[in-house]
Chain A
Amino acid sequence: MTDRPIAAARADGRRTLTEAEGKQLLADAGVETPSFAVCATVDEAVEAAEGMGYPVVVKVSSPSVTHKSEWASGAGVTVGIASEEGVRTASERIFEAATEQNVHADVLVEEAMDVEAGTEVIVGGLRDPSFGPVVLTGLGGVFTEVFEDTSHRIAPIGRAEARAAIEELQAAELLEGYRGSEPADVDALADVVAIVGDLVTEHPIAELDVNPVLASADGAVALDALVVLDPETAVDPASGTEAGVDR
Chain B
Amino acid sequence: MFDPSAVAVVGASTTEGKIGYEAMANATEFDGPVYPVNPSSDGRLFGEAFVASVTDIDDDVDLALCCVPAPATPDVLQECGEAGVGAAVIYAGGFAEAGEEGERLQAAVVETADQYDISLLGPNTSGFVVPETDLLCSFASGAEKLPPGNTAVVAQSGGVAHALAFQSRRQGRGVSAMVGLGNRANVGFTETIEYFDGDERTDAIVLHVEGTDDGRALLEACRASDTPVVAYKVGQSDVGEFAESHTGALTGDHELYTAGFAQYGVPTVDATDALLDAAAALGNSPAPDGPNVGVVTAQAGPGIIITDRIQRAGGFLPELTPETRDRVDDILPGVTYTSNPVDTGRPMPAFGDVVTAVAEDDAVDIVLVYELYEQAMGFPVESLDGLAERVDKPVLFATDGIEEDMAEDESALADVGVPVFETPERAADAAAVLARYARMQGSAEGTEVVADD
In the complex, what residue of chain B is closest to A152 when comparing beta carbons?
A: B259
A97 within 8 A of B: no
In the complex, what residue of chain A is closest to B214 when comparing beta carbons?
A: A130
Interface centre among B211, B248, B255, B443 (most CB of A within 10 A): B248
User: How far does the alpha carbon of A57 sit from the alpha carbon of B279 in the complex, in Å?
Assistant: 58
Q: How far is the CB of A123 from chain B (nearest CB, A)?
A: 9
Task: State whether A126 touches B263 (Cβ < 8 A).
Answer: no
Interface of A is mostly: strand
Task: State whether A160 touches B447 (Cβ < 8 A).
Answer: yes
User: How far does the alpha carbon of A159 sit from the alpha carbon of B451 in the complex, in Å?
Assistant: 9
Residues in A neighbouring B242, C-beta threshold 8 A: 145, 148
A153 within 8 A of B: yes
Task: State whether B215 touches A161 (Cβ < 8 A).
Answer: no
User: How far does the alpha carbon of A136 sit from the alpha carbon of B240 in the complex, in Å?
Assistant: 13
The 8 A CB mask of B250-287 against A (1 = contact, 0 = none) is: 11010110011001100000000000000000000000
Task: State whether A158 touches B246 (Cβ < 8 A).
Answer: no
B247 within 8 A of A: yes
Task: State whether A152 touches B246 (Cβ < 8 A).
Answer: no
* B111-134 interface (Cβ within 8 A of A): none
User: How far does the alpha carbon of A129 sit from the alpha carbon of B217 in the complex, in Å?
Assistant: 12
B85 within 8 A of A: no
B446 within 8 A of A: yes
Knowing A136-B247, A154-B219, say if A130 contacts B259 (CB, 8 Å): no
Task: State whether B447 touches A157 (Cβ < 8 A).
Answer: yes
Task: State whether A164 touches B443 (Cβ < 8 A).
Answer: yes
Task: State whether A207 touches B248 (Cβ < 8 A).
Answer: yes
Task: State whether B245 touches A131 (Cβ < 8 A).
Answer: no
A138 within 8 A of B: yes
* A100-146 interface (Cβ within 8 A of B): 122, 124-126, 128-132, 134, 136, 138, 144-145
Task: State whether A131 touches B256 (Cβ < 8 A).
Answer: yes
In the complex, what residue of chain A is closest to B446 when comparing beta carbons?
A: A160
Q: How far is the CB of B188 from chain A (nearest CB, A)?
A: 12
Task: State whether B256 touches A130 (Cβ < 8 A).
Answer: yes
Q: How far is the CB of B442 from chain A (nearest CB, A)?
A: 11
User: How far does the alpha carbon of A136 sit from the alpha carbon of B264 in the complex, in Å?
Assistant: 16
Residues in B neighbouring A247, C-beta threshold 8 A: 248
Knowing A124-B246, A125-B247, A126-B248, say if A161 contacts B259 (CB, 8 Å): no
Knowing A145-B245, A148-B242, A160-B450, say if A138 contacts B250 (CB, 8 Å): yes
Task: State whether B250 touches A153 (Cβ < 8 A).
Answer: no
B216 within 8 A of A: yes
* A193-244 interface (Cβ within 8 A of B): 207-209, 211, 226, 241
Task: State whether A126 touches B247 (Cβ < 8 A).
Answer: yes
Residues in B neighbouring A66, C-beta threshold 8 A: none
Knowing A131-B215, A159-B450, say if A126 contacts B251 (CB, 8 Å): yes
A170 within 8 A of B: no
B404 within 8 A of A: no
Pairs A–B under 8 Å by Cβ, sample size 20: A124-B247, A124-B251, A130-B213, A130-B214, A131-B219, A131-B256, A131-B260, A136-B250, A144-B245, A150-B250, A151-B259, A152-B259, A153-B263, A154-B260, A156-B451, A157-B447, A158-B450, A160-B450, A164-B443, A211-B246
Binding site for A on B (CB under 8 A): 211-216, 219, 242, 245-248, 250-251, 253, 255-256, 259-260, 263-264, 443, 446-447, 450-451
Identify the 3 closest CB pairs spanning chains A and B, nearest first. Answer: A124-B247, A158-B450, A130-B215
